[in-house]
């Protein structure tokens, strides 16, 4: 099937995707080069400008038309970017979380750390570049570059004596994942060249000629296992709890959203490029997803460190999203994309909350905390709304997304798989509500030193809380516009799998 392409000149005043990618990177360079008193005006100006640019991106994107929009291409460099329903929501969320991470940093001990601020800005630009990439090598290079700010932020600004070991574990896992995904991308392109076609890493060309690709099963396995490390999907997850425990909340908030790059990669590269092998290995992926749901939830219930608890929660959620992606129909794909965005925002909200509690108490261990509601009502509200969104409660964006995912799962895999997903979500509600009770309601275990009058960050805390809670509640009560962004691409991907495609979607969609 030929994909429609609309270049940026037809819809926007400038190449918005390249500007969205370049602006944080240029701001990063400026932060490293300018005098210290210009650090925060420059950083915040760049971050706010990127948020405004992402709003402009949503405004000029035509949700009613299928295909790639706002495309850019440089033939000599193999550079190609574009947006469709698969990635259109991830890019603005990256910009928003990047700005909030900078506001959070103003409250912490890293507020004058030039390298810390520069790494946050660089990480934002790298993630946007990866989400926008429509060239397999371009996507892989951005994924490789992502290691740099993550490693630096953990080594020089992380917590605990084992943070260097956490970086080593990350490098071990990610290097294997990157090696496998690179091998898969190379086999894709050279496989086409071996069939007499032009060597190309262009996603559109690979998609158009996917029936001519040899070694499809091997390519699928390489890409899937490479992306499984990135998501992370059980049993490729061991690096995440370690990194979550020893990293910083500011970087982790963007980082855990960045983990959705793995789910995005499944939808962008595996489903369209290796459709036959994806169908053949569905039961294997669903089995891993089910194990991951319960493994992550049960391990989260056993944690006393809030950062590790959230890391295991992400592992549990990843299993649910993987099952949704491998249901191959419109409902499940839409639900998986929107739920990935909702989880990214909600998880970031909880991490900001835990990070701010850590700044006050110097601990994230539940047995040492308690009774924080009276002195930290803003943080309590932020954690509660974020937790309810993660539990896919009504009034949050996760509710409609999970409804679509469950409906698509029932249609493809039957009731038992859907019931297992719902049971996993019940366990998720259990460990999040239990954590909220121990943090904010239970009798305090130690004296909490309030902030001094010189450093009183209530306004900054409220900016973070109002932004996260406002986005979650606002989109939760009215998800139709956001689903419309996703609808066309989910339907187009579903048409690659006619045996699974929800042909009745127009009759029941968004009722």
Largest CA distance in the chain: 72
Residue whose tokens read 């909340």: 249
Q: How far apart are CA 506 and CA 365, in angstroms?
A: 49
Q: How far apart are CA 415 and CA 438, in angstroms?
A: 35
| pLDDT score recorded for residue 253 | 64
| pLDDT score recorded for residue 508 | 40
217: CB partners within 8 A, 6+ apart: 277, 280, 281
| pLDDT score recorded for residue 498 | 53
105: CB partners within 8 A, 6+ apart: 111, 116, 117, 120, 250
User: How would DSSP label each residue in 167-203?
Assistant: HHHHHHHHHHHHHHHHHHHHHHHHHHHHTTSPP--BH
Radius of gyration of the chain (CA): 22
Q: How far apart are CA 101 and CA 396, in angstroms?
A: 22
| pLDDT score recorded for residue 286 | 92
| pLDDT score recorded for residue 2 | 56
Residue 134: which of 33, 247, 264, 27 has the closest Cα?
A: 264
Residues in the chain: 511
Task: Mark the ranges of the chain whose per-residue pLDDT is less than 50.
Answer: 449-455, 503-511
Taking CA atoms, 509 is separated from 67, 78, 321, 490, in Å, by 20, 38, 20, 12
Q: Is 454 helix (H, G, I), strand (E, B) or coil?
A: coil
**Tokens found for residue 359:** 């700044």
| pLDDT score recorded for residue 3 | 67
Virtual torsion, Cα 190, 195, 200, 205, nearest 10 deg? -130
Q: Which backbone phi and psi does 69 adopt, to 5 degrees?
A: -115, 155
Number of Cβ within a 10 Å radius of residue 64: 7
């Amino acid at each position: 099937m030929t994909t429609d392409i609309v270049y940026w000149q037809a819809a926007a005043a400038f190449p918005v995707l390249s500007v969205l990618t370049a602006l944080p990177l240029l701001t990063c360079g400026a932060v490293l080069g300018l005098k210290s008193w210009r650090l925060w005006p420059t950083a915040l100006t760049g971050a706010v400008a990127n948020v405004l640019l992402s709003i402009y991106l949503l405004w000029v994107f035509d949700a009613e038309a299928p295909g790639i929009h706002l495309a850019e291409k440089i033939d000599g460099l193999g550079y190609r970017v574009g947006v469709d329903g698969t990635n259109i929501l991830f890019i603005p969320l990256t910009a928003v979380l990047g700005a909030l991470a900078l506001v959070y940093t103003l409250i912490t001990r890293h507020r004058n750390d030039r390298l810390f601020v520069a790494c946050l800005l660089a990480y934002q630009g790298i993630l946007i570049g990866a989400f926008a990439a429509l060239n397999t090598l371009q996507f892989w290079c951005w994924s490789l570059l992502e290691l740099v700010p993550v490693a630096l932020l953990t080594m020089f600004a992380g917590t605990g004596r084992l943070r260097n070991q956490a970086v080593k574990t990350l490098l071990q896992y990610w290097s294997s994942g990157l090696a496998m995904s690179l091998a898969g991308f190379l086999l894709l392109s050279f496989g086409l060249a071996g069939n007499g076609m032009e060597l190309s890493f262009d996603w559109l060309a690979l998609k158009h000629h996917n029936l001519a690709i040899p070694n499809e099963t091997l390519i699928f396995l390489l890409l899937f296992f490479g992306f499984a490390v990135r998501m992370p999907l059980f049993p490729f997850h061991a690096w995440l709890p370690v990194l979550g425990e020893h990293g910083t909340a500011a970087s982790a908030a963007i980082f855990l959203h960045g983990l959705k790059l793995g789910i995005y990669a499944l939808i962008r590269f595996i489903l369209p490029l290796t459709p036959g092998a994806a169908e053949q290995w569905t039961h294997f992926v669903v089995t891993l997803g089910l194990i991951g749901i319960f493994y992550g939830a049960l391990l989260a219930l056993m944690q006393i460190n809030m950062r590790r608890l959230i890391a295991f929660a992400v592992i549990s959620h990843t299993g649910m999203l993987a099952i949704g992606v491998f249901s191959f129909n419109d409902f499940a794909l839409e639900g998986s994309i929107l739920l990935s965005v909702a989880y990214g925002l909600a998880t970031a909200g909880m991490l900001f909350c835990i990070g701010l509690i850590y700044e006050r108490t110097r601990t994230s261990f539940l047995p040492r905390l308690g009774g924080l509601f009276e002195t930290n009502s803003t943080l309590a509200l932020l954690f509660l709304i974020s937790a309810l969104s993660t539990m896919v409660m009504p009034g949050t964006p996760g509710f409609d997304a999970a409804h679509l995912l469950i409906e698509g799962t029932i249609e493809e895999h039957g009731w038992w798989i859907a019931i297992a997903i719902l049971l996993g979500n019940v366990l998720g509600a259990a460990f999040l509500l239990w954590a909220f009770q121990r943090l904010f309601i239970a009798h305090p275990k130690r004296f909490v030193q309030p902030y001094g009058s010189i450093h009183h960050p209530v306004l900054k805390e409220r900016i973070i809380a109002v932004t996260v809670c406002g986005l979650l509640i606002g989109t939760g009560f009215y998800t139709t516009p956001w689903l419309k962004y996703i609808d066309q691409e989910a339907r187009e991907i579903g048409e690659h799998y006619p045996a699974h495609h929800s042909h009745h979607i127009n009759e029941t969609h968004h009722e």
